[in-house]
Amino acid sequence: MGVLNHISTNNIKGDMFGGLTAAVIALPMALTFGVASGAGPEAGLWGAVLVGLFAALFGGTPTLISEPTGPMTVIMTAVIANLTASNPAHGMAMAFTVVMMAGVFQILMGALRLGRYITQMPYTVISGFMSGIGFILIVLQLGPALGQAGPPGGVMGTLQHLPQLAADVKPLELALAAITLAILWSTPQRIKKIVPPQLLALVAGTLLSLALIPVADPAWSGEGIRRIGAISAGFPSLQIPVFGADELGLMLADAAVLAMLGCIDALLTSVVADSLTRTEHNSNRELVGQGLGNLAAGLFGGIAGAGATMGTVVNIQTGGRSALSGIVRAVVLMLVIVAGSGLASQIPLAVLAGIALKVGFDIVDWGFLKRAHRISIKGALILYVVIGLTVLWDLIVAVGVGVFLANMLTIDRLSQLQSKESVQSISTADDSLDLPQDEKALLDAGGGNVLLFQLTGAMIFGVAKTIGREHNAIRQCKAIVFDLGAVSHLGVTAALALENAVEEAVEANRHVYVVGAVGTTRKRLEALKLFELLPADHTQLSRSQALKAAVEAIKD
C-alpha cells in the first residue's frame, strides 16, 4: 500500500459524489480535447480514463483529478500534425509513442526526485507560457468555430488563411459555436452548482442542432452540420510503440516538451489542491503517477493528460478527499464510453470548438497581463517575449529564453544588492564603521595609505565586478588587508577576481595581507595557489594583527 496514493474508506460518500461530479465535467472536455488534438474523440475519452486512473492510483496528491487539459492538447495537436505530415502511414502511431515516451520521462523525473525543481520558474515565464498556449488554442479553434477544418500550418497557417475562413463561413455552425460560448459565459452560478456549464452547452447545442436540421436532411445552407460521428464502444486496442528513424529526434523533443508541461501543469494544480484541503502533496510521487498515466494512455491510444484545475476544484468542493474519488471518476467515464458512446455521435464539432475556445480564453492570464507593466517593466517585457515566442515560434525556445532572461535580471539585481553590502574598501575610520576602537585607531594611523578590503556574505559571480571596481578605485594606498572573515561562500568567479586583485597589488609593490579565510573559502584559495603569492606571515594573522603589521610596514 505504500506504493499507492492515499485511498481512504473514511469518506466514501464524499469521494463517490466528488468522483461522479468530476466525471460529468470530464466528459465534454475529453470529447473536446480529443477532437481538437486531431486524434479523435475516443483518444480524448480514453486519455481521460487512463491518465486519471493511474494518476489517482499511484500519484502523490489524493484529490488531484488528471485528464487531457488545454495546454497538453495544444502540444498534442502539434505533435500529431508534425508526425502525420512527416510520416502519413505511421504518424498517428508515432504520436501515441510520444505520449508513452513523455510518460517515461515523467517517471524518471519523479524517480530522480526532481519534483520540487519543476515549478521553480519565475511567474512571468509561467504566465507567459500558459497565456501563449491559451492564444494558440483560441487561434486553432477559429476554423472549426467557423464551420471548417483548420488549415494546415498551425497558428501561422490559420492566421494566413483567416480571410478565406471568413469568406467560407457556415452561418449555422458559427451560430452553434456562438450559442455555446454564450451558455458558458452566462450560466448563472446557482445553475452551475447543479450542472456544469460545459455539459449544459454540449447537450443544448446538440439538441438545438438536431431540432433545427434533421440528421438525414442537409442544412438549408446546402451542407449538413459536421458532427463527431460514430465512436467505438469497445475497449481500446494496444498500440505498439512505433519509431521512425527520420523522426526520432523530433519525437524525443516533443516527448520532453509534453513531459515538462505535464509536470508543471500537474504540480501547479497540486498546489491548488493543497490550499483547498490544507494538506501537502508528494511532488515526486505525483510525477511517477502522471508518468504511469501517460504511459498507459499512449499504450491504448489515448492523448496525454495532466492535473486539471477545474476537475480538481470541483472534486474537492463536492466532497472528494482521497484518491478514491479519482478512481470513481475513471470508472464512471469508462462505463459511459462502453455503454453510452453512441449518444455522442451527433455532437456538432462547432459546439466542441466553442467549448475549446472558452478553455483557451480561461488559460490566458488576463489578470496578470493587465497589471504586469505596472508591477515591473522588465517583468512585463519577459512576459510578452515568452507569449510571442510560444505563439509564433517554439515552446521550448519560449521557456528557455524566458527563464534565461528572468534569471539574468534576478542575478543582476541580487548582485547589485549584494555588492552594496558585501564589498567595502575602508582607508579612514569613522563612527559608522562596525570595527573595534583599536582597529579604527590603526586605520587612522595609516593616514589613508592602509586599505581594509572587507568581503561579507555570499560572494556569487555577480559580485566579482564589484571586487575589481572597488580595488581599482584606490590607487594611492601602500598596504591592503583583505578581510574574508565574514564570507559565507566564495564562488569561483569571485575567487578569481580576488586572486586578480591580490596579484595586481603585489605587482604594484603594495604590502598585501589576506586574513580570516577558513573552511571552504580557504580551500578554494589554496586550490588557486593564491597564498603562494604572499609571505606565510601575511596569511596567518588576525585582522587586528594584519592592520598593525600594515601600519608598521608603510613606515619603513
Number of domains in the chain: 2
pLDDT at 22 over 70: yes
- Residues 303 and 220 occupy one common structural domain: yes
The CA distance from 239 to 298, in Å, is 7
What's the mean pLDDT in 156-163? 86
What does the buried/exposed string (b/e) look like for 297-327 if buried means 16 or more CB atoms within 10 Å of the residue's CB? bbbbbbbbbbbbbbbbbbbbebbbbbbbbbb
Indicate whether 383 and 524 sit together in one domain. Answer: no
Q: Are residues 380 and 442 in the same domain?
A: no
Kindly state the helix (H) or strand (E) to which residue 478 belongs, with its residue range: none
In this structure, is residue 505 part of a structural domain?
yes
Contact 128, 386 (CB under 8 A): yes
Q: Are residues 247 and 338 in the same domain?
A: yes
Residues 141, 356 contacting (CB under 8 angstroms)? yes
Say whether both 428 and 386 belong to one domain. no
- pLDDT score, position 473: 58
Task: Report the sign of the C-alpha dihedral through residues 393, 394, 400, 403, in that order.
Answer: positive
- The DSSP secondary-structure symbol of 66 reads E
Structural domain includes residue 2 = no
pLDDT surpassing 80 at residue 290: yes
Half-sphere exposure of 54 (CA within 13 A, CB side): 24
How confident is the model at residue 156, as a pLDDT?
84
Q: Kindly state whether residues 384 and 485 are assigned to the same domain.
A: no
Four-point Cα dihedral 11, 262, 201, 311, nearest 10: 10
DSSP string for residues in 180-236: HHHHHHH--HHHHTTS-HHHHHHHHHHHHHHHHS-TTS--TTSSPPPB------SPP
pTM of the model: 0.75
Predicted pLDDT at 341: 67
Report the pLDDT value the prediction gives residue 70, as an integer from 0 to 100: 87
Residues 271 and 307 in one domain: yes
Residue 521 covered by a domain: yes
Residues in the chain: 556
Write out the residue range of the structural domain in which residue 261 sits: 12-353+366-393
Position 536 in a domain: yes
The tally of CA atoms less than 13 A away on the side-chain side of residue 123 is: 8
Does residue 135 sit in the same domain as residue 248?
yes
d(CA 547, CA 373): 51
pLDDT at 200 over 50: yes
Residues 384 and 473 reside in one and the same domain: no
Residue 491, CA distances (Å) to 317, 407, 458, 526 in order: 49, 17, 8, 14
Q: Kindly state whether residue 7 falls inside one of the protein's structural domains.
A: no
- The answer, yes or no, to whether residue 71 has pLDDT greater than 50, is yes
- Say yes or no: 370 and 426 in one domain: no
Whether 331 maps to a domain, the answer reads yes
* Mean pLDDT of the residues in the chain: 86
In a domain, residue 360? The reply is no
pLDDT digits (tens, 9 = 90+) for 505-542: 888 888 999 998 888 888 989 888 888 888 888 988 88
- Selected residue with higher pLDDT from 110 and 189: 110
Of 89-93, 147-151, 341-345, 356-360, the range with the lowest mean pLDDT is 341-345
- Check residues 48 and 7 and name the one with the higher pLDDT: 48
Q: What nine digits make up the cell of 442?
A: 590603526
CATH code assigned at 544: 3.30.750.24
Residue 282 sits in the same domain as residue 245:
yes
Phi and psi angles of residue 480, each rounded to the nearest 5 degrees, phi first: -130, 135
Same structural domain for residues 479 and 533?
A: yes
Does some domain include residue 400? no
